[in-house]
Copies of this chain bind each other. A is one copy, B any other.
């Protein structure tokens, strides 16, 4: 049976921390689906098209990494794609509590779903999309925090 993992997020924008987790996940699973959650109530800084393009470009060298968009519950998206693994990166203790809550509730909704966690490598552990957006708003340079294929000001 194929081992398929979903790596969900809003990727607004994708960070080097995200890239780090996906690349490591790509060597663990037969397929990794990077799934951009479409949240109609939360305004994103970058359009869905741009966010998707950055993901596609960043993982162009990995044939078994697929970029998708989804709305609705993450567990439903996983079921539909026969993905029994949810891949998540842990940066710090704050992430921990949040991820555990979500993992336990997802497992309650679909017991087959296993949440797999890896620690973000230390050099990326302080990279947060929220802070990156703040820097962008103030015209700062974020190139060291995002993958090389991401060109914020193009």
Which residue numbers of A lie inside 8 Å of B, CB to CB?
Answer: 3, 24, 27-28, 71-73, 75-76, 85, 90, 92-94, 96-105, 107-109, 114-119, 121-123, 125-128, 131, 134-135, 138-141, 144-145
Give complex CA distance A101, B93 in Å: 12
Give complex CA distance A90, B105 in Å: 16
**Residues in B neighbouring A75, C-beta threshold 8 A:** 140
Number of copies: 6
**Residues in B neighbouring A121, C-beta threshold 8 A:** 104, 107
**Residues in B neighbouring A27, C-beta threshold 8 A:** 114
**Residues in B neighbouring A71, C-beta threshold 8 A:** 138
- A sample of 9 inter-chain contacts (CB < 8 A) reads A27-B114, A73-B134, A75-B140, A108-B145, A109-B140, A115-B118, A117-B119, A122-B123, A125-B125
Contact residue among B28, B72, B76, B92 (Cβ-Cβ distance under 8 Å from A100): B92
